Amino acid sequence: VVEAMAGTLCGRIAADPGAKIKGRVVVMKKGLVDVTDGPGGLLYSRYYKFLRRGVSLRFISSTHGDPENDSKGKVSREAYLEDWILKFPSLAPQSETTLDISVEWDEESMGVPGAFIVKNLHHEQFFLKTVTLDDVPGVGHLHFVCNSWIYPAHRYQYDRIFFSNKTYLPDDTPPPLKWYREEELSILRGKGAGEVPMMWDRVYDYACYNDLGDPDRGRDYVRPVLGGTTDFPYPRRQMTGRRPSKADPRTESRLFFANIDVYVPRDERFSSIKFSDFIADTVKSLGQLVPPEVKAAFHKTPNEFGTFSHIDDLYDGGIPIPDVSVGISRYIPCEFFRELFRSDADYLLHYPVPDVIKEDRRAWRSDEEFCREMLAGVNPAVIQRLTDFPPKSKLPPLLFGGQSSTIKNHNIEPFMNGLTVEQAVKDGKLYVLDHHDTFVPYMTRINRTETKTHASRTLLLLQDDGTLKPIAIELSLPHTTGNQYGSFSSIYTPEDQTRWHLAKAYVAVNDSGHHQLVSHWLHTHAVMEPFIIATNRRLSAMHPVHKLLKPHLRDTMHINALARQILINAGGLLESTVFPGKYAMELTSMVYKSWNFNEQALPVDLRKR
């Protein structure tokens, strides 16, 4: 009754003449993690829902152009979502509501719908998931996948348009839709330099990594701009439009450390559940980090492990976590708290015990486990077959002198099961994990900080059972009089077990740092962001390649923005935990100089290695 009265007063149930196409619209409301409105804002929203017309859709013909509008597709009358007042979606994140819609559509004069314009007359945004029209003449079901946040209409200076699921290359686009296709791409490209995007904008544009340093805080927080120069090449990132810093106009000003509201286009941001996972995992990680940091502050060597038992202590103690996986979890009201107490570990405030040491705390020391983790661990894509012995360096000799390996035949043949080096190379049984060229150029600077480490090369023998056996480790330091004079290198073999275990630890540090900085951040996250930007700037949502790429680009831009804010920035978590320290991101720029897009396909990469 109330809805009938409201419809009569607000004009939503007018007896429109003409044929009707029925359809369904799937929407989601803001979840608890997204709620920023106070009680007054929420009340205002209810007023809008009751007294305003709500959400309207106008469908655009893909077959019939309007001669009075430059032959653009004809546009239908406004159709409003029905039952909006009565069907309040649940506040639980990701809950959906299906609303009916009835569209006045004359087949003879309008043809087949190919797109629609949506207008939100409410006070708050909502998530438009899909629109489906039933019994479209000559077509049957017509589906529109939207997956986009729709802000109130007054936030936009343009129409929000969505196209049907049919794909078209640019030249094959139905003529009535061509203008709409190009106009949408123009909106996504934005206005160019100087634009300051707001949260509801959908501008995709490029910027250099000039937001990692914070020169306004002092010299210790100055970092080079990455990208745009031959000295520091780098993939582009999404622009934010923030003002320059006061101390250096080339560097973008930074947000307060705890502020993670870095601009990315709204549809690139995490979903409510994903963001709840992110925040809860961050809180749990901090809970694991704080106790050992507090203990270390009162230790005579606060940044070092005195004994192996200190490492074991990381996995002991903590607060038992109740198992909420069954029964009780459904009564926890917020996704954040459900994720926080998800029982993927037995205790809060301590690190979960790795499987490899659950049975034996010294299992990691074996050579078998050392090699297994090279292939089954976090950084398996660096090891390569050795085709030339000893391993050669690719660093320029004029800058770095002789950097080729000093490992000799007599160092490794006693551990090669009777094979000679020449036989092993010929049979493809010698492999190398080579981090030498990556870290040597920065080793002098790194070792001037609190960190002390070496660059490593590790030789491995492929055995008859298909496993690898480490047979030699070379640890190198730059010449004390300058990089141009080469390196000092030491060779370690299994013959001296004490030094051998220490050498393996240095290799593990190199491999972990390479994983975090190069394999994970640079080669996975950073290099993808320009493709995300380009896809949205240049490929219409109607383009078949856009539809193929879209699922694989999800969430990457937002996690990269959060990383720039709290992880890879000057003084951030990565500089505090990964051994290159303040030189970490600068080092990745040097590695990027040799990155080649054509070598990234898995078959090509495997053949290369």
Tell me whether residue 35 is in a domain: yes
Q: Mark which of 331, 353, 375 sits at the end of a domain.
A: 353
- Kindly report which listed range (24-28, 194-198, 211-215) carries the lowest average pLDDT score: 194-198
pLDDT value of position 446? 92
Please check the confidence at residue 37 and state whether its pLDDT lies above 60.
no
Tell me whether residue 210 is in a domain: no
What is the CATH classification number for the domain harbouring 437? Answer: 3.10.450.60
With tokens 């299992």, the residue in question is 363
Please check the confidence at residue 159 and state whether its pLDDT lies above 60.
yes
What is the CATH classification number for the domain harbouring 72? Answer: 2.60.60.20
Tell me whether residue 216 is in a domain: no
Tell me whether residue 259 is in a domain: no
Going from the C-alpha of 487 to that of each of 378, 442, 493, 503, the distances in angstroms are: 28, 12, 19, 17
- What are the tokens at 524? 């996975």
Tell me whether residue 258 is in a domain: no
Residues 462 and 584 in one domain: yes
Whole-number Å distance between alpha carbons of 220 and 223: 9
pLDDT value of position 278? 62
Residues 426 and 522 in one domain: yes
With tokens 């469908």, the residue in question is 59
Please check the confidence at residue 369 and state whether its pLDDT lies above 80.
yes
- What are the tokens at 424? 């092993």
- Kindly report which listed range (54-68, 90-104, 141-155, 445-459) carries the lowest average pLDDT score: 90-104
Exposure of 174 in the CB half-sphere (CA atoms within 13 A): 22
Q: Mark which of 128, 157, 189 sits at the end of a domain.
A: 189
Please check the confidence at residue 319 and state whether its pLDDT lies above 60.
no
Residues 371 and 344 in one domain: no
Residues 334 and 452 in one domain: no
Q: What pLDDT digit, counting tens, does each position of 532-547 carry?
A: 999 999 999 999 999 9
**Looking at residues 30-39, what average pLDDT do you find?**
48
The full DSSP string for 504-540 is: HHHHHHHHHHHIIIIIIIIIIIGGGHHHHHHHHHHS-
Q: Tell me if residue 216 falls in helix, strand or coil.
A: helix
E-strand stretches of 29-159: 55-66, 72-75, 79-80, 97-104, 113-120, 126-136, 140-150
Tell me whether residue 238 is in a domain: no
Domain ranges, residue 311: 272-353
Residues 87 and 171 in one domain: yes
Burial of 158 (0-12, 13-18, 19+ CB in 10 A): exposed
Name every residue whose Cβ is closer than 8 Å to that of residue 285 and which is 6 or more positions away in sequence. Answer: none
Tell me whether residue 467 is in a domain: yes
Of residues 64, 79, 239, 56, the one with CA closest to residue 160: 56
Q: What pLDDT digit, counting tens, does each position of 474-487 carry?
A: 999 999 888 899 99
Backbone φ and ψ of 599, nearest 5°:
-100, 5
- Kindly report which listed range (165-179, 239-253, 310-324, 355-369) carries the lowest average pLDDT score: 310-324
pLDDT value of position 277? 64
Domain tally for the chain? 3
Residues 324 and 375 in one domain: no
Q: Tell me if residue 26 falls in helix, strand or coil.
A: strand
Whole-number Å distance between alpha carbons of 457 and 405: 8
Please check the confidence at residue 562 and state whether its pLDDT lies above 70.
yes
Residues 307 and 385 in one domain: no
Residues 412 and 496 in one domain: yes
Give exposure, 459-490, as e/b (b: 16+ Cβ within 10 Å). bbbbeeeeebbbbbbbbbbbeeeebeebbebe
Residues 586 and 453 in one domain: yes
Task: Please state the pTM of the whole predicted model.
Answer: 0.85
Tell me whether residue 306 is in a domain: yes
Residues 317 and 447 in one domain: no
Q: Mark which of 189, 221, 250 sits at the end of a domain.
A: 189
Residues 442 and 575 in one domain: yes
Secondary structure in 3-state letters for 452-508: CCCEEEEEEEECCCCCEEEEEEEEEEECCCCHHHCEEEEEECCCCHHHHHHHHHHHH
Whole-number Å distance between alpha carbons of 416 and 428: 13
Whole-number Å distance between alpha carbons of 374 and 315: 23
Residues 342 and 380 in one domain: no
